Amino acid sequence: MRHALLLAAACGGSSSAPTPSPQPIANVAPAPPPPASTCIAPGAPISEARLVDGALVACSLVPQSSGDGDDCWRFDLATSAWSFATRKPHADVTPRRPNVTATATSARACTLDGSDCKTIPLSGIKLSPDDQLAGATNIDRSIVAVWAGSGPVHVFDASGSRLATIKPWPTDMSGGKDPSVFREAHVLGSTIEVRIADTPISSAIRLYDARGHKIADVFGGKPMEDSSPPLELGGSRYAFVSLDAHTIVIADVATGKQLGSYPLPGEVMSPSFLMRTPDGNVAGVIGASALKLDLAAGKLASVAAPACAQ
């Protein structure tokens, strides 16, 4: 009997259950990609636009329960045709870092890509405790302009010698008597472009030479878009966008001469993105329309993107 029990134990006579075999994993097909959009929803904001391989690519925000996305559309500049490009997760566009930062005693001026920076000594700038200086420079960083909102705009050369002091002037927003406030400035070659608040949502743009002598008011001093930086078109030609007139204005910033004005499609205050094309013309997106401006012919054409029915 004792030998029988030992034999039973040796032969696996345990009461434990056998380990179950793993179940095969079923093949699960990945979720299909979202269908291509056939139209842009009314009021869908354009979040970004850029030139890619001879075409405008404009992306509009599409709210989704699983996470906002961007529908990107392509406008072929050669054929003037819109087509759906892709849908991608939405990402807020990161503002470009300023290429000039400043204190009351020095400015750090960098190339546009930030690969090289130099320090310029500043002097004669008085700031209140709450003032913060902003700055701008030209491509070769031979001139730097710095300012706080209440002004003035201080202009220096690359060695730190003061070239000009541009003081703010009264506008309708300041009641027409007291000086208004500067919103921004740009250094366009050797021209200083300053923007002063004339309404809560717009600025008047004035041009000065590097020594602070007034050249002209852009578009006769009419309200201009603050969100549209000057677009360089070659030499001293630049494009600006008027707010209430809803117009592209081309000006020679060295002489102040207005070279042309072109009414835009869409509603006033529609978001605008303007770019210089490789052939030196202007392309862009205004609201939900693509535009092409042939400067030599003086003609502006626009094509609305496919819009969804309301």
Higher pLDDT, 13 or 161: 161
The HSE-up count of residue 274 (CA atoms within 13 Å, CB side) is 25
Domain count, the chain: 2
Q: Which of 89, 116, 146 is the last residue of a domain?
A: 89
Q: What was the pLDDT predicted at 16?
A: 53
Q: Does 106 map to a domain? A: yes
Task: Give the residue from 220, 241, 242, 217 showing the smallest Cα distance to 230.
Answer: 241
Indicate whether 55 and 172 sit together in one domain: no
Among the three residues 199, 230, 261, which one is the final residue of a domain in this structure? 230
Verify that 109 and 226 share a domain, yes or no. Answer: yes
The verdict on 142 and 71 lying in the same domain is no
The model carries a pTM of 0.83
Q: How far is CA 15 from the centre of its chain?
A: 74
More confident residue, 127 or 35: 127
Q: Is residue 12 part of a domain?
A: no
Same-domain pairing of 71 and 158: no
Cα–Cα distance between 120 and 162 in angstroms, integer? 11
DSSP 218: G
In this structure, are strands 69-76 and 224-225 parallel, antiparallel, or unpaired?
A: unpaired
What the block records as the tokens of 201 is 């949502």
Residue 84 lies in a domain: yes
Q: How far apart are the first and last CA of the chain?
A: 92
Please tell me the predicted confidence (pLDDT) of residue 21. Answer: 63
Same structural domain for residues 113 and 151? yes
Q: Is residue 8 part of a domain?
A: no
Give the model's confidence band at 1: pLDDT under 50 very low, under 70 low, under 90 confident, else very high. Answer: very low
Together in a domain, 112 and 199:
yes
Phi and psi for 187 in degrees, rounded to 5? Answer: -110, 110
Q: With bands split at pLDDT 50, 70 and 90, how would you rate the model's confidence at 80? A: very high
Give the CATH number, domain containing residue 57.
Answer: 2.30.30
- Is there a single domain that holds both residue 81 and residue 116? no
Q: Tens digit of pLDDT for each residue in 34-74?
A: 566 788 887 777 888 999 998 999 998 877 666 678 889 99
Look up the domain containing 200 and give its range: 100-230
Lookup: tokens for 93: 């566009």
| Cα–Cα nearest to 59, from 48, 51, 68 | 48
Res 77: pLDDT: 94
Distance of alpha carbon 127 from alpha carbon 112, whole angstroms: 27
Q: Output the pLDDT for position 95.
A: 63
Instruction: Label each residue of the chain as H, E or C.
Output: CHHHHHHHHHCCCCCCCCCCCCCCCCCCCCCCCCCCCCCECCCCCEEEEEEECCEEEEEEEECCCCCCEEEEEEEECCCCEEEEEEEEECCCCCCCCCCEEECCCEEEEECCCCCCEEEEECCCCCCCCCCCCEEEECCCCCEEEEECCCCCEEEEECCCCEEEEECCCECHHHCCCCECCEEEEEEECCEEEEEEEEECCEEEEEEEECCCCEEEEHHHHCCEECCCCCEECCCCEEEEEECCCCEEEEEECCCCCEEEEEECCCCCCCCEEEEECCCCCEEEEECCEEEEEECCCCEEEEEECCECCC
- pLDDT above 90 for 309: no
Question: What does the pLDDT read at residue 307?
Answer: 87
Per residue in 176-194, pLDDT (tens digit) is: 889 999 999 999 999 999 9
What are 142-183's pLDDT values in tens digits?
999 999 988 899 999 999 999 999 999 999 998 888 999 999
Residues 105 and 226 in one domain: yes
82 and 177 both lie in a single domain: no
Looking at the domain assignment, is residue 265 inside a domain? no
Nearest in space to 204 (alpha carbons), one of 222, 228, 230, 182: 222
Query: What's the pLDDT band for 3 if we cut at 50, 70, 90?
Result: very low
In this predicted structure, the answer to whether residue 83 has a pLDDT above a threshold of 90 is yes
pLDDT digits (tens, 9 = 90+) for 253-269: 999 999 999 999 877 77
Burial (CB count <10 Å: 0-12, 13-18, 19+), residue 101: middle
**81 and 128: one domain?**
no
Alpha helices in the chain (DSSP H): 2-10
Residue 5 pLDDT exceeds 60 = no
Q: Are residues 124 and 77 in the same domain?
A: no
Q: Quick check: is 206 in a domain?
A: yes
143 domain residue, yes or no: yes
User: Is residue 57 domain-resident?
Assistant: yes
Choosing from 230, 261, 278, the residue where a domain stops is 230
Do both 113 and 200 map to the same domain? yes
